[in-house]
Structures are given as C-alpha cells and as structure tokens.
Amino acid sequence: MAERLTIALMKGRIEQETLQLLGKAGFDVTFMADKGRHLIFDSPDGRFRFLLVKAPDVTTYVRHGVADVGIVGKDVLMEHPSGYLEMLDLNFGLCKFSVASTKDYNPTDHKRKRIATKYPTVAREHFNRKGEDVEIISIQGSVEIAPIIGLADAIVDIVETGSTLVANGLEVYEDICRISARLIVNKAALKNKSTLLPFIRQLEGIVGNREVPFV
Ligand code: PRP
C-alpha cells in the first residue's frame, strides 16, 4: 500500500489556492471538489489525506505529528513559532502585517499606547524592536473597531486589499512584514516518510524560490 501523507490545510482562502497548486503540480485533487461539510478527505489512490482545520490549529496538528504537512499563513507561524520546520514559501495568500489607526493617531507621541490585535506576539515583538513599551489588548477579530471606539490607540492586523481599513476610516501608519502561505512539516515525518521530500520538491518546482516583493 502507498505511503500516505496527511496534510493539514487552513480552511478558507489559502485552501483554494493550495488545491490549485497541487493540481498544477500534477496531483489529482478532484476528490475535494464537492466538500460539503466534510473535514477529512482521503484521495482515492491512498496517497493523501487532507484535514481542514482552523488556521492556528494547523501548527498543532503538525507539531503533534498527526499531520505530516501543514499549509498556513506566515501570520499564524509568527504567532505560533515552534514545533515544526518551515520548508517552503508558497508565494500566495500575500498580505502584510501593519500598524493602523484613525486619522488623528500620533505614532510619535510619548504616551504608552494600547494596541489591539489578534496577534499579541507579533505586536509585542514589533514594538519591543522599536524600544517602545505598549499595552497589548488581545481580541479575536473585527479588530478595526478598537481604535474607533477607544478600546485602543492603534491596531496590529493583516492588510490584504486595504478595503477593510478604508471602510472603517482607518489608515496604515507602519508596515511590519510581508505575509504569505507557507508549507511546514513535522520533523519526524521528514525523516521517516520517503515520499515527503519528493512531494515538497515537486511543489517547489511550481512555486519556485523567487523572493516576492513586499506588498
Ligand atoms: C482579516 C484582517 C482584516 C481583513 C483585511 O480579517 O483582520 O480585517 O482580513 O483584509 P483587506 O485588507 O483585504 O480588507 P479576517 O477576514 O481574517 O477576519 P477577522 O475579523 O476574523 O480577523
């Protein structure tokens, strides 16, 4: 029986682009076309099992070795940085981390700022690097509301098209870093599963290792 690779895939935007990438690399992923509410998919040839999970859980499945491979945004990896190997920049799912706020925000004033974010580690490290002591307020989403209603002075969040910021009257004050989808692996699986490295090399041939400029 063929060795099976288990791949934890973030539900949503990256999921579609991942399936396109696998298709381009010559893998038949048509068995995932009609997903319904299913969360586990086995390929008919027995070579792949896909798990559809929430983004932060991709690293958990890979860390525990129940998934050999994970595909998830760099934003999630920056917030959950250990217990796996990052192997490949897939060069899609491009966005960036930025500091944003309302028009009256003054990034250079000397008061201790409150920063609302879904990414407390990223936010703390960013302001630490700048030597700025800030209060981090963790929230789970719709972060844009925070500076408008006075929960925070600014936010650290993902910006893709920028339309969420514009729609809420916010603007970018600083870009922190580029984000893209990444392929991670379980360390033991890399050693023990003979099909894993060839699988990664095959995908690498499609995405290349070119540096995509900061967006
Ligand atoms: C992310 C991010 C912004 C939005 C940015 O939210 O937190 O709200 O996307 O995209 P844009 O620049 O193209 O407008 P997400 O959809 O992940 O939902 P969330 O509110 O749960 O964070």
Domain range 95-178, CATH class:
alpha beta
Proportion of the chain above pLDDT 70, given as a percent: 96
Distance CA 84, CA 68 (A): 10
- Ligand 1 proximity of 162 Cβ (cutoff 6 Å): yes
At 106-126, the pLDDT tens digits run 999 989 999 999 999 999 999
At 140-162, the pLDDT tens digits run 999 999 999 999 999 999 999 99
pTM: 0.92
At 168-193, the pLDDT tens digits run 999 999 999 999 999 999 999 999 99
Among 97, 69, 96, smallest CA distance to 182 is for 69
- Ligand 1 proximity of 167 Cβ (cutoff 6 Å): no
Give the Cα-Cα-Cα angle 46, 41, 191 (nearest 5 degrees): 55
Superfamily name and number for 5-93+180-207: Periplasmic binding protein-like II (3.40.190.10)
Distance CA 65, CA 113 (A): 40
Q: Compute the distance from residue 186 Cα to the ligand 1 centre, in Å.
A: 28
For every residue of 45-100, DSSP letters joined together read TSSEEEEEE-HHHHHHHHHTTS-SEEEEEHHHHHHS--SSEEEEE---S-EEEEEE
Cα 118 → chain centroid? 12
At 12-70, the pLDDT tens digits run 878 889 999 999 998 888 988 888 888 999 999 999 999 999 999 999 999 999 999 99
- Ligand 1 proximity of 157 Cβ (cutoff 6 Å): yes
Q: Which of 164, 170, 172, 178 to mutate to test the pocket of ligand 1 (most atoms within 8 A of CB)?
A: 164
Chain region(s) in the chain for CATH 3.40.190.10: 5-93+180-207, 95-178
- Ligand 1 proximity of 171 Cβ (cutoff 6 Å): no
